[in-house]
Amino acid sequence: MFTGIVTDVGRVRHVEKRGDTHIVISTNYDVSGVEMGASIACSGICMTVVDKGSGKDNWFAVTASGETLSKTNLASWKVGDPVNLERPMRVGDEFGGHIVTGHIDGVAEVKLLVPEGESTRVTFEIPVGLSKFIASKGSIALDGVSLTVNEVEGTRFGVNIIPHTSKVTTFGRLKPGSRVNLEIDLLARYVARLVAK
């Protein structure tokens, strides 16, 4: 489980497609403390560490299945791309965001960026089937970042990105057409399932 508070921005250093997609990510994490098989949220996607190394720089490797590629923006990752990283929450850690599982529901596309004070208001377009799970003032995770929804209108919703978030995540690179991984709020998912019954 994660909280949507990014603790490092890594870089894709290698991508290889052979059956599944194999990705190596550089990180500032001390990978000697990362167990093989551990989970790391990579731009919101809960990924399993299958290899790691340290030396001049630290890195870890993950494998993405076809299902992961179909639900996320991972198929477009290339060498040099930045990746929001978060290690799993430990019992007793500060809970700064909201409950994030790393199970991506779909991809949201940036439609509009508008300066608002020191922040940037960003409008996203989402697949039709996901809009019912998003509520004004509710929580959402975008590329692994916990955010509060400003408003929802049909298949579009808006959030504000403060300068700190732009600086410590990949959001400083957002532009119209950017595609980000979207995880709906866990509580919204279960409430919708109960109501449907």
Q: Which domain holds residue 163?
A: 106-196
What is the DSSP secondary structure assignment for residue 129, as one 8-state letter? Answer: G
In this predicted structure, the answer to whether residue 119 has a pLDDT above a threshold of 90 is: yes
Is 47 a domain residue? yes
Q: Would 98 be classed as within a structural domain? A: no
The pTM assigned to this predicted structure is 0.92
In angstroms, the CA 36 to CA 34 distance is 7
pLDDT at 193 over 70: no
Indicate the DSSP class of residue 146. Answer: E
pLDDT at 186 over 90: no
Note the pLDDT of residue 190.
67
* Structural domain contains residue 118: yes
| 111 and 191 within one domain | yes
pLDDT at residue 94 tops 90 = no
Verify that 183 and 119 share a domain, yes or no.
yes
- What distances in angstroms separate CA 43 from CA 31, 51, 65, 168, one per listed residue? 18, 19, 16, 13
Q: Which of 55, 86, 117 is the last residue of a domain?
A: 86
Predicted local distance difference test score (pLDDT) of residue 23: 98
In this structure, the answer to whether residues 81 and 17 fall within a common structural domain is yes
Query: What's the CATH code of the domain at 78?
Result: 2.40.30.20
The pLDDT tens digits of the residues spanning 128-185 come to: 989 889 999 999 999 999 999 999 999 999 999 999 999 999 999 999 999 999 999 8
Question: Where is the domain boundary, 51, 86, 121?
Answer: 86
pLDDT at 58: 95
Beta bridge partners of 121: 114, 160
Tell whether 93 is covered by a domain.
no
Count up the domains in the chain and report the number.
2
